[in-house]
A and B are shown apart, each in its own frame.
Chain A
């Protein structure tokens, strides 16, 4: 059985592994240029343009760690695990899993990982190059 929390084929992937590294799949409004992650086709959060004005776009899984926290209690997910608030280099701010092996500090440069470092199919961010 597939949990509804796990990205499904139907919903489409959250990310792709490209030559430039991991890229998160988000959206861009062709009417006003607003962008965001994760992917959605419902409409623009800024100008209200309908879903047919929304296109898929990609964001580099790279940015700056704004804050982090180790989570010790969660109904469904094994604990503890680390989470971070990340300002992506391409604009949006996201909350995502962090590499549990790193001693984190705010301001760290982070990069998303693919391959066997994924947590199920969710991107995990680790320390990037400065």
Chain B
């Protein structure tokens, strides 16, 4: 099997976002254009340089791309729409990276843009479920949280510390949907949505946009891109559900996808400086940092409490605020992670800066389940 990094080197050269926010009347076109224009300025190029666009959206429906991109000037570039549930933006990024790595393009853009307006196809399989709520995410994650509490012997407060950390990181991020510092008491107290899940332990529904421009070496020379601000794509892996025989599928997929990414990168999880994790629910961060090998199994809560996952700790986990605080507008989310890691590796993350960050990992899971992991390196 050929890996993307066996092909031509690919570099992230431009990032842009429209802040994530609670749903408004703002057109998705306005959201998306703001992110793309910011990314173009960041890369120091103009729209005609872009040869291919991958537009990631999970909720907008058919044909979202060209009706938005035409307002940048109709250049005739290749446009494809990408959907992969919560991993939509991550998958759009992988497609853009593959386009450049393969030589099909020298400059490509991945754009995530979404508003919560469309339907979700996954429940409409024609199969009647055992209960009508078995696929409601917060009910499912409440059950997972309670199981983790019982089997790992953790307390609600230990899981609540994930939310405290990520809300406090989000308070430092001008693109975050939730920008308020929170105390442990605030994130664990009633009212509960389900089980012991307070709404501050659940990602908010929102809208927003994110864009990432990638280039080949040749294009970086041609457009005189500042190499000190570019970040190399060191690994790209994606997997979907396998017959795991009762194991938590999201955890098993995370192990499989990160292991493949580590092998492609040639590094070790202990060398990761920044990790953006799919933390739609607080419990997920603990499960996934363990699955990724950032700490031994069962040690996630203890390491979190010690500050290992804080900005300035051993690995800064979700310095953007993660899905819990930065938000999760679906299409943009995975690209927002790439933008955050790029900012961190450039040393441009301001108050959120992880000191001397050189390597970062972005991780998303999505309904299916699917899992997408990227590693970026300075």
Contact = CB atoms under 8 A, between A and B. Distances in A.
Say which size band chain A's interface belongs to.
35 or more
Contact of B128 (A7, A67, A68): A7
Given A69-B143, A96-B134, A38 B194 contact: no
Nearest to B193: A73
A123 B130 contact: yes
B131 interface: yes
Interface string A98-130: 000000001000000000000000110000000
A58 interface: no
A68 B146 contact: yes
Contact of A45 (B126, B193, B195, B243): B243
B147 A106 contact: yes
A8 B144 CA distance: 30
Given A83-B133, A96-B130, A66 B139 contact: no
Given A67-B147, A71-B194, A95 B138 contact: no
A37 interface: yes
A40 interface: yes
A94 B127 CA distance: 14
B129 interface: yes
B131 to A, nearest CB: 5
Contacts of A16: none
A1 interface: no
B133 A77 contact: yes
Contacts of A94: 130, 134
27 contacts: A7-B128, A24-B130, A38-B129, A39-B128, A40-B127, A42-B125, A66-B143, A67-B143, A67-B150, A68-B195, A69-B139, A69-B143, A69-B196, A71-B138, A72-B191, A72-B192, A72-B194, A74-B136, A83-B133, A83-B139, A83-B143, A85-B143, A85-B147, A93-B246, A95-B140, A96-B134, A122-B131
